[in-house]
Structure 1
Amino acid sequence: MRAMTITEDHRLELAELPEPVAAPGEVLIDVVAAGVNRADVAQTAGKYPPPPGASELPGLEVSGRRRDTGEAVVALLAGGGYAEVVAVPEGQLLPAPENMDLTDAAGVVEVCATVVSNLVLEGGLADGQTVLIHGGTGGIGTVAIQIARQLGARVMTTVGSDEAITQVRELGADHAWNRHTTDVPDAAREAGGADVILDIVGGPALADNVTMLREHGRLIIIGTLGGASGELPVGMLMGKRARVIGTTLRSRPTESKREILQRTRELVWPMLADGTVSVPIHATFELEEAAAAQNVLREGGHLGKVILQVAARDA
């Protein structure tokens, strides 16, 4: 099979590799397309190794067809998605969303599962609450804005340009601020603060995030784009009776992923089917162009997901 490997000097290289062999409880998927995520970029750079036992190839999500039944599916992976065939635990599969092209479906499962696991299961976001989503134009941000609105929340978000403010407002954000030109903590506090904050920045944003929390607020850290260390204002955190929650999805065991995916299917798949939630696709690249696809994420400024086309477009 064709697959993208990571060289010792951290480049992506097309190679011919043996197909994986399905272990007990796994199924083989003939891949149509793969989603590109920031975790893939970090892994390529040597900064985010796969969990023990996972494929060394990058790629955390794919769309394709089960080899045993032919069913169109999406799969959440711990690695291996930049390839023509993947072996996946059956609990990490979902039926492809109805009426969605399988190429576009490759960008659905990782962001939707991330949003559900963090905003709903960890954060307990509820009708009438306020959420602050950092990085509103990214794959996770664009979907988080829409799902939060469907849950009845008021949505605040940060973006990287004035143009992006219009884009995220069209997705449903009530407040949007250019982080380069706005004092976001002041603006968020003036807007009443947040019950839940979804953060991809990490350590450097820690103190500011705590200042923006309401009483009993929840700060959920899912990324460390800005760095892994920061100052935590413990007294303020205690006074607000607030919580700081750090989570990852990739390293969870299959049973945990199965539970998250089932909740995702129950909550989000109907929204995708009726069009109340969509996953914007910024660009689609061929498998061998994976390095260029990852550069889009490195450079930023994109809206939504980047996809790798692995097989011919599904009819």
Structure 2
Amino acid sequence: MRAIEITRFGKPEVLVEAVRPDPAPGAGEVLVRVRASGVNRPDVLQRKGAYAPPPGASDLPGLEIAGEIVAGDAAELAAAGFALGDAVCGLVAGGGYAELCVVPLAQCLPVPDGLSLIEAASLPETFFTVWSNVFDRGRLQAGETLLVQGGGSGIGVTAIQLGKALGATVIVTAGSDEKCAACVALGADHAINYRAQDFAEEVKRLTAGRGADVVLDMVAGDYVAREVSCLADDGRIVIIAIQGGVKSEFNAGEVLRRRLTITGSTLRPRPVAFKGAIAAALREKVWPLLAAGRIKPVIEQVFPAARAAEAHALMESSQHVGKIVLDWAA
């Protein structure tokens, strides 16, 4: 099979097309002929040597794919509601940048009605992540306010749409007026240009001093103290990335007095059973929203798979809104 390898740690050009042996599925797994692969920030970190695959995972980058099931145990497939030839998208711990990919059956989802395989490939990583962190860990409820840092990212556009669809008020930050406008067009109630405004002060102003109930934080670092200052009583900060650094100082007295929660998680090393539970929740509660068009994939650009280096360069430029996808047929 064709695959995209990380030949050494470094800049995007270290991504090179290669030929690898076809993988084979084991118990509880299926083999998918990949038509499209999503590109995500963790892929960039892996390419740089800063985010190693978990033990047992493929060394190839790529955490989400879409294609057709070409191998797997017939009984296991039937029990999960699938059959050979079905179009699926799936979350993987690695190996997504390839024409064939082994996927845990529990982490497969049907391609939502009306969506292409390109669109479906843009879904798993961000939807699994947002559901697990905003709704499971962050416990966002209808009527509450969600603050999303980096609203123009793949995670951001997913959080905006899911938050709104499930009844929350959504405030986002973004790095330009153009990105702010794009976030509002996707349904965000308010967008703050963090380069021009103090997001913490704006959140307090927009909520009449109450603050946000849940913050989805992809920055950490000095953002945490500012997020604490604009959280509502009993508010929750959920950290899912540390682009601003691993060290944070904040007012612990505020955490005590106002019963605040600061938590976080990484999804990639979690066991199949954990991810399978997220997949089941998505299939029940979110996939109907996609099929109905209430939530839509947001894709900035599609690259032929052989041009994965260009896709990574775009990701690192942060000039995109939404997802970047690799097309194996192009």
Normalised by the length of structure 2, the TM-score is 0.93
Q: Alpha-carbon deviations, 1:124-180, whole Å to 9, x = none?
A: 111110010011111110111111011111110001101122111111111111010
Could you tell me which residue of structure 2 aligns to residue 191 of structure 1?
A: 206
- Cα pair distance change 1:291/1:25, threshold 3 Å: same
Alignment match of 2:86 (pick from 71, 79, 102): 71
Indicate whether 1:45 and 2:48 are aligned.
yes
Indicate whether 1:260 and 2:278 are aligned.
yes
Could you tell me which residue of structure 1 aligns to residue 269 of structure 2?
A: 251
Could you tell me which residue of structure 2 aligns to residue 303 of structure 1?
A: 321
What RMSD, in angstroms, separates the aligned Cα atoms of the two structures? 1.0
Indicate whether 1:121 and 2:124 are aligned.
no
Residues 28, 105 of structure 2: 8 Å contact kept: yes
Could you tell me which residue of structure 1 aligns to residue 81 of structure 2?
A: none
Unpaired runs of at least 5, structure 1:
none
- In structure 2, what is the Cα distance between the partners aligned to 1:146 and 1:24? 35
- In structure 1, what is the Cα distance between the partners aligned to 2:52 and 2:138? 27
Residues 133, 264 of structure 2: 8 Å contact kept: no
Could you tell me which residue of structure 1 aligns to residue 77 of structure 2?
A: none
Could you tell me which residue of structure 1 aligns to residue 76 of structure 2?
A: none
Could you tell me which residue of structure 2 aligns to residue 34 of structure 1?
A: 37
Residues 37, 66 of structure 2: 8 Å contact kept: yes
- In structure 2, what is the Cα distance between the partners aligned to 1:59 and 1:183? 35
Indicate whether 1:163 and 2:178 are aligned.
yes
Counterpart mapping for 1:61-100 below 5 A: 61-68=64-71, 69-100=84-115
Indicate whether 1:59 and 2:90 are aligned.
no
Report the secondary structure of 2:229's partner residue. Answer: helix
Report the secondary structure of 2:213's partner residue. Answer: strand
- In structure 2, what is the Cα distance between the partners aligned to 1:160 and 1:243? 26
Report the secondary structure of 2:222's partner residue. Answer: helix
Residues 130, 153 of structure 1: 8 Å contact kept: yes
| Alignment length (residue pairs) | 312
Normalised by the length of structure 1, the TM-score is 0.97
Residues 39, 311 of structure 2: 8 Å contact kept: yes
Residues 139, 279 of structure 1: 8 Å contact kept: no
Deviation at 1:207, TM superposition (A): 0.6
Report the secondary structure of 2:162's partner residue. Answer: helix
Could you tell me which residue of structure 2 aligns to residue 144 of structure 1?
A: 159
- In structure 2, what is the Cα distance between the partners aligned to 1:241 and 1:301? 37
Deviation at 1:8, TM superposition (A): 2.2
Could you tell me which residue of structure 2 aligns to residue 172 of structure 1?
A: 187
Deviation at 1:204, TM superposition (A): 2.4
Residues 237, 263 of structure 2: 8 Å contact kept: yes
Could you tell me which residue of structure 1 aligns to residue 223 of structure 2?
A: 205
Runs of 4+ in structure 1 off by over 2 angstroms are none
- In structure 2, what is the Cα distance between the partners aligned to 1:12 and 1:233? 43
Percent identical across equivalent pairs?
44
Unpaired runs of at least 5, structure 2:
72-83
Deviation at 1:9, TM superposition (A): 4.0
Residues 283, 306 of structure 1: 8 Å contact kept: yes
Q: Alpha-carbon deviations, 1:162-212, whole Å to 9, x = none?
A: 112211111111111101000111111122210000010022211111111
Residues 23, 101 of structure 2: 8 Å contact kept: yes
